[in-house]
Amino acid sequence: MAAACARTIGKVGWNILESPACRAGNIASLVPRVSLHGSSRAYGTGVAGFRSKLLFTPLRVGRVLGCAYLVGGGLGLYQTIQLSVQHHLAEEEGKAYSDGDLKLTLYQYKTCPFCSKVRAFLDYHRLPYEIVEVNPVMRKEIKWSIYRKVPILMVNDDVQLNDSSVIISALKTQLISKETISEILRCYPEMKAVNEKGKEVTEFNNKYWVMVNEAEGQTMYPEKDSRKEEIKWRKWADDWLVHLISPNVYRTTGEALASFDYIVREGKFGTYEGFFAKYVGAAAMFVISKRLKSRHNLQDDVRQDLYKAVNDWVAAIGKKKFMGGDQPNLADLAVYGILRVMEGLEAWDDMMENTKVKSWYRCMEKATQSHEDHN
């Protein structure tokens, strides 16, 4: 419609300019009830003055009106084309998202629980992604980023998602709503705060919320309070469960060495960095784990806190296959992602042997499969 109006205005202007009346100076016949008496006016710009005559003759008025219509039509057509191009690009972007054709690049440490959470989500939803393993010492792979933590997820090379819970919530929102990631990201504003140590930290509002409308929410959360439970256990995983990992995998000097052997083997270290990380890092983390035990008020035998946390989780699931029912929800994926970083270590073996988590854990393994199977 806007394009048609622009073309019409342009046509009117051209007709005025080309009309016999305009050429003859009788513009009054084309534009009725307009006074066309000639006049002159002088404008001064100083003592000497500068005088310029504007002769409003019928012929000139006709040409001015014609030009005005042409210019107006041209500007209108330009704006219409510009809006059409923007609309087309938006549609193409939306189509790419709706078709699931997202290019995802995950910057991570493989053994980081928060990175493992994101991989569990991506694997479960069969979203192809590339991995960039970040060197934990130099972190040159993310030197381009102001945000210096991992995970970082780049979407289509131009949208950066930070924080594991924001990444998961934003992607889940996109899968359901089909909105663009850029639009969705506005729902999770970044905020700066100062923690109890006086250090500035970055937090994200609404990071445990999937931003869907009422109808979509009822489909995603059919049972009463299921959304509230999902948010509760996702927060529990970040605020409590994840803090039990380090004290347990670095519980003794032997376990600390075994853990760092695994970290060096799976991570991105140079030869000397790997040697330094394994022995110096293991010793440092053994000491730090004791501080973490004190900070989080853990028992002397930190295994007992791990066992209790895992059994509390299993009890909350109850007789269901997953917290989400027949299919894992975001809490299932978060807890599984955190626990699996201990695989191959003594802490994981003890957990599987001394808790009731095995059945649920095996189901989660099957549900997520491996990155390589579908990437």
**97 touches 310 (CB < 8 A):** no
The β-bridge relationship of strands 130-133 and 104-108 is parallel
Q: What is the pLDDT along the chain (375 residues), one digit of tens a residue?
A: 444 444 444 454 545 445 555 544 444 444 444 333 433 333 333 333 333 333 344 444 445 445 444 445 554 444 444 444 444 444 444 444 444 579 999 999 999 999 999 999 999 999 999 999 999 888 999 999 999 999 999 999 999 999 999 999 999 999 999 999 999 999 999 999 888 888 888 899 999 999 999 999 999 999 989 999 999 999 999 999 999 999 999 999 999 999 988 888 888 877 778 877 788 888 888 898 999 999 999 999 999 999 999 999 999 999 999 999 999 999 999 999 999 999 999 999 999 999 999 999 999 999 998 544 544
**139 touches 151 (CB < 8 A):** no
Instruction: Write the DSSP symbol of residue 188.
Output: S
φ and ψ at residue 31, rounded to 5 degrees: -120, 85
Structure token digits, residue 353: 């042997």
**237 touches 334 (CB < 8 A):** yes
**109 touches 328 (CB < 8 A):** no
* pTM of the entire predicted model: 0.72
Tell me how long the chain is.
Answer: 375
Closest CA to 63 of 85, 36, 86: 36
**294 touches 307 (CB < 8 A):** no
Helix (H, G, I), strand (E, B) or coil at 160: strand
* Residues 237, 169, 310: CA angle, nearest 5 degrees: 15
Q: Is residue 89 within a helix (H) or strand (E), and if so which, with residue range? A: helix 58-98
Provide the annotated active-site residues. Answer: 109, 112, 114-115
**65 touches 31 (CB < 8 A):** yes
